[in-house]
């Protein structure tokens, strides 16, 4: 019986980890306020988090932003269908929003929402790695 329970627990964690794999990697944001970033998405507990690892001006020239190292995708928990829910931080205004995320292959749609998710702004990100 202990072996059966251990196997079920292991299978549950393996399923959660494989559902998160779709979001793990390096993603390029859209240009926002004249710049874009590379965001590295990685597991954080049972969720996925994203941290700015490189920043670029709109023309592609790299620059050293104060936001490098800042986590902007916070505790995005997989729903099991390619969608996630958590929080999103927007560095340009210093606000944190209810976050929604959907991964489809090498495309990621990230939304920051207010009013219980009724009003959302979104970005489409492209996988770099």
pTM of the entire structure? 0.82
- pLDDT top residue among 116 and 15: 116
CB distance 52 to 36 below 8 Å: no
The rounded mean pLDDT for the chain is 86
Q: What is the pLDDT of residues 42-92, one digit of tens each?
A: 999 999 999 999 999 999 999 999 999 999 999 999 998 989 999 999 998
pLDDT tier at 7 (50, 70, 90 boundaries)? very low
In a 13 Å sphere around the CA of 25, the CA atoms on its Cβ side amount to 17
Quick one: the chain helix, strand, coil %, rounded to 5?
A: 15, 55, 30
Contacts with 44 (C-beta within 8 Å, 6 or more apart), sequence order: 75
CATH architecture, range 2-127 = Beta Barrel (2.40)
């Amino acid at each position: 019986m202990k072996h059966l329970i251990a196997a079920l627990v292991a299978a549950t964690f393996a399923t959660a980890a494989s559902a998160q794999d779709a979001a793990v990697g390096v993603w390029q944001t859209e240009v926002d306020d004249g710049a874009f970033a590379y965001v590295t998405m990685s597991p954080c507990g049972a969720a996925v988090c994203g941290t700015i690892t490189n920043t670029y001006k709109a023309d592609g020239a790299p620059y050293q932003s104060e936001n490098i190292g800042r986590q902007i995708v916070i505790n995005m928990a997989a729903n099991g269908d390619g969608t996630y829910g958590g929080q999103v931080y927007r560095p340009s205004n210093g606000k944190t929003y209810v976050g929604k995320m959907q991964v489809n292959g090498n495309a990621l749609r990230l939304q920051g929402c207010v009013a219980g998710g009724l009003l959302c702004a979104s970005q489409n990100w492209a996988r770099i790695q």
